[in-house]
């Protein structure tokens, strides 16, 4: 019997454009799917269809306008669409990773400190967290000379690999990925896909918006977003 991770029911997001006289814009509507531990769901659809908005609603950067997103934890189900902000922040810290298209680097914080932070938040000692961070940075081929540097000064591809290292370093039940390989070359994309396959085997569920060619054994199912009526 598969272990449930996420159950999404009739999820929708609408925006009110106040600068356009209160015009309503539907990002997506009627989204439904189930995801088990160790499964990878690829979200597909044309540009502007709401793929990134869906991931932001699941991470609760946006609050959904309708529906439920039941995330199953050891303590029971948490509705990501409606839970209080404090509960969402705790679930993120413990169980949900997120890789955005754009990495907002914290000024004057080193790459190794950025990557180590999720482990420190979970109670790891400083030396262990830093050692794990260095290992992950090496795995993603960030040159050792940059580990103590500030990601704000890195190239786009280097910043994205720091972003990925931060998302992958701590144990996660679910990771949301928004164009995780868009700024990477073919060799680095292969490394990322290898890491994602390892995470799947360890039981992490993945939801990915990705347009690059993906290994056939990585994707278990697809969600095609349709233009809302």
pLDDT over threshold 60, residue 139: yes
List all residues 6 or more positions away from 227 whose beta carbon is below 8 Å from its beta carbon.
49
Domain locations along the chain:
4-224
**Ramachandran class of 123: left when φ > 0, alpha when ψ lies in -120 to 50, beta otherwise:** left
* Mean pLDDT to the nearest integer, 170-184: 94
For residue range 13-55, what is the model confidence (pLDDT) as tens digits?
Answer: 998 877 767 778 889 999 999 999 999 999 999 888 999 999 9
Instruction: List all residues 6 or more positions away from 198 whose beta carbon is below 8 Å from its beta carbon.
Output: none
DSSP 46-113: STTSSHHHHHHHHHTSS--SEEEEEEEETTEEEETTTS-HHHHHHHHHHHEEEE-SS--PPTT--HHH
The 10s digit of each residue's pLDDT in 45-70 is 988 899 999 999 999 999 999 999 99
Q: Which CATH superfamily is domain 4-224 in?
A: P-loop containing nucleotide triphosphate hydrolases (3.40.50.300)
pLDDT of residue 212: 77
Q: Which two tokens stand for residue 86?
A: 């404090």
Residue-wise pLDDT for 110-134, tens only, equals 999 999 999 999 999 999 999 999 9
- The backbone torsions φ and ψ at residue 185, rounded to the nearest 5 degrees and listed phi first, read -80, 175
- Rounded Cα distance between 38 and 59, Å, is 18
- The neighbouring-strand residues paired with 192 are none
């Amino acid at each position: 019997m598969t272990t449930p991770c996420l159950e999404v029911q009739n999820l929708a997001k609408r925006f009110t454009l106040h600068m356009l006289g209160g015009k309503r814009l539907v990002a997506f509507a009627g989204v439904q799917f189930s995801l088990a531990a160790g499964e990878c769901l690829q979200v597909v659809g044309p540009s502007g269809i709401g793929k990134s908005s869906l991931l932001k609603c699941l991470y609760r950067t946006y609050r959904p306008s309708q529906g439920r997103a039941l995330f199953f934890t050891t303590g029971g189900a948490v509705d990501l669409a409606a839970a209080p902000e404090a509960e969402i922040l705790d679930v993120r810290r413990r169980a949900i990773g997120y890789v955005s298209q754009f990495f907002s680097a914290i000024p004057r914080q080193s790459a190794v400190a950025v990557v180590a932070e999720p482990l420190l938040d979970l109670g790891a000692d400083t030396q262990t967290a830093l050692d794990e961070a260095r290992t992950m940075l090496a795995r993603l081929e960030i040159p050792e000379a940059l580990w103590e540097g500030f990601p704000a000064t890195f190239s786009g591809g280097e910043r994205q690999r720091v972003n990925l290292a931060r998302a992958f370093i701590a144990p996660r039940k679910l990771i949301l990925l928004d164009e995780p390989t868009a700024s990477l070359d073919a060799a680095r994309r292969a490394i990322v896909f290898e890491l994602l396959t390892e995470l799947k085997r360890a039981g992490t569920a993945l939801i990915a918006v990705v347009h690059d060619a993906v290994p056939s054994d990585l994707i278990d199912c697809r969600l095609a977003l349709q233009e809302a009526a």
